[in-house]
Homo-oligomer: A and B are copies of this chain.
Amino acid sequence: MVDTPRTRYAYLGPAGTFTEAALRTLPDAEQAELTPADTVPAALDAVRSGAADAAVVPIENSVEGAVPVTLDELANGHLMITREILLRVSFALLARPDTQLEDCKRIVTHPHAAAQCRQWLAERLPHAEVLLASSTAAAAAAVAEETSEFDAAIAPPVAARHYGLDVLASEIEDTPDAVTRFVVVSRPAPPPAPTGADKTSVVAFIRDDHPGALLEILEEFAIRGINLTRIESRPTKERLGKYCFSIDCEGHLTEARVGEALMGLRRVCAEVRFLGSYPRADGVRVCPRPGTTDADFASAAAWLAALKEGRV
């Protein structure tokens, strides 16, 4: 009997963060080898080098917006998104046993968590000092140390059990129903087969900064009835005012309208990086506008071929 090799996942660590929780929602996570990485670039480098088969990293949060480092790393190429994961994000205030809420003077957490709980902190602990850690898990770990200089950590509730802390308050985020979107990233390969409920991600670098360059890009999608689900401008790091656009659209690379739109982008842009076509986490099926189904494209192509042969 031959064992299927276990998938080796890298993820933005440490253990106990939302990224691990997202990774654990994957069907093969239980059998897989999970390795935390210190940073998003480190997780993705593990994939590039072959040390990992895939990486799970956050890409977007409904409150904080895009995760710039993930967008920038993906734009650098040699990687492909094969799946997305949506995870509801909720924070708790964790402390060592016997700590009272009113004793919390020094609170440690990741900057994003601090930002998402700003209002709660202002109301309930107006005099507390908020200090920053590199992750919510690192914050929880720092609080768990015996000689800790911190009184409490803002972290995912699961970190409580992991680090032996008590939950002083839960769901303390200012915006309930905050969701973070994670992506599973692999080395380049043919995209997973279309499911009818897919998304495609690309990065488009405009040819020059002429007015209307973004309009041109959007028109390549609009004219073929393709909705965008996300668009972010990102600096290209060359100079202020020079951007690329990170775009998610509905549909799959192998669908004719998406393929033609991507070829259109490729023609009008200086460069286009394809980041993957993959099933939507929300399962919403795409309903192509009349005239934009694969059958419509095939019929138009057959018509054009007939015209070239003089059959009208």
Q: Which residues of A contact B (CB under 8 A)?
A: 41, 60-65, 68-69, 77-78, 80, 86, 111, 115, 118, 131-134, 175, 177-179, 181, 188-191, 207, 211-212, 214-216, 218-220, 222-223, 225-235, 237-243, 253-254, 259-260, 262-264, 266-268, 273-274, 290-292, 296-297, 299-301, 303-304, 307-312
In the complex, what distance in Å separates the CA atom of A218 from the CA atom of B231? 13
How many identical subunits does the complex contain? 4
Q: Which of B115, B134, B179, B232 contacts A233 (CB 8 A)?
A: B232
Bound-state CA distance A242–B243 (Å) is 21
Between A115, A240, A299, the greatest number of chain B beta carbons within 10 A of the residue's beta carbon is seen for A240
Select one of B60, B240, B264, B301 contacting A60, CB under 8 A: B240
Contacts of A181 in B (CB 8 A): 240
Is B115 a contact of A237 with CB atoms below 8 Å? no
Q: Which of B80, B111, B220, B243 contacts A111 (CB 8 A)?
A: B111
| B-side contacts of A226, CB under 8 Å | 211
Report how far A274 CA is from B311 CA in the complex, Å. 10
Q: Known contacts A190-B309, A233-B230: does B222 contact A220 (CB below 8 Å)?
A: no
Q: Are A63 and B237 in contact (CB under 8 A)?
A: yes
Residue picked from A178, A228, A273, most chain B C-beta under 10 Å: A228
- Closest residue of chain B to A111 (Cβ to Cβ) is B111
